[in-house]
Amino acid sequence: MSKQLWNKGFQPDQIIEKFTVGQDRELDLRLARYDVQGSMAHIKMLQSIGLLSKEELDTLLPALQQIADEIERGEFTIEDGVEDVHSQVEFLLTSRLGDVGKKIHSGRSRNDQVLVDLKLFFRDEIKNIVAAVNRLFQRLQALSEEHRDKLMPGYTHLQVAMPSSFGLWFGAYAEALTDDMQMLLAAYNIANQNPLGSAAGYGSSFPLDREMTTELLAFANPHYNVVAAQMSRGKTERAVASAVAAVASTLGRFSMDVCMWMCNNFGFIKFPDELTTGSSIMPHKKNPDVFEIMRGKCNRLQSLPNELTILTANLPLGYNRDMQLMKDILFPATTELIDCLDTADFMLQHISVKDNILEDPRYDYIFTVEDVNRLVLQGIPFRDAYRQVGMAVQEGTYKPTREVHHTHLGSIGNPANPQIAEKMARLLDAFK
| CATH class assigned to 111-147+168-356 | mainly alpha
Answer yes or no: are the C-beta atoms of 85 and 28 closer than 8 Å. yes
Closest to 88 measured CA to CA, from 184, 196, 189, 5? 5
Answer yes or no: are the C-beta atoms of 240 and 329 closer than 8 Å. no
Q: CA-to-CA distance for 136 and 129, rounded, in angstroms?
A: 11
- Amino acid, single-letter form, for residue 260: M
Alpha carbon of residue 58 to chain centroid = 39
Angle between helix axes 417-431 and 110-146 (nearest 10 degrees) is 160
**What's the alpha-carbon Rg for the chain, to the nearest Å?**
29
Fold of 14-106: Fumarase C; Chain B, domain 1 (1.10.275)
C-alpha to C-alpha distances, 20 to 75, 272, 325, 326, 393, nearest whole angstrom: 26, 49, 10, 13, 70
Answer yes or no: are the C-beta atoms of 165 and 155 closer than 8 Å. no
Q: CA-to-CA distance for 97 and 120, rounded, in angstroms?
A: 27
Q: Enumerate the H helices of 147-288 as residue ranges.
A: 166-191, 210-216, 226-262
Q: In CATH terms, are 14-106 and 111-147+168-356 the same topology?
A: no
What's the predicted TM-score (pTM) here?
0.92
Average pLDDT of adjacent 10-residue blocks, the chain of 432 residues? 50 63 76 96 97 97 97 92 88 94 93 95 97 98 97 94 96 98 98 96 95 98 96 94 98 97 94 79 78 96 95 85 89 97 97 96 94 94 95 94 91 96 97 87
pLDDT at 12: 62
Residue ranges of domains in the chain: 14-106, 111-147+168-356, 361-395
Strand, coil or helix: 57: helix
pLDDT at 286: 81
Q: What is the pLDDT of residues 358-393, one digit of tens each?
A: 999 999 999 999 999 999 999 999 999 999 999 999
Who contacts 73 (Cβ-Cβ below 8 Å, separation ≥6)?
A: none
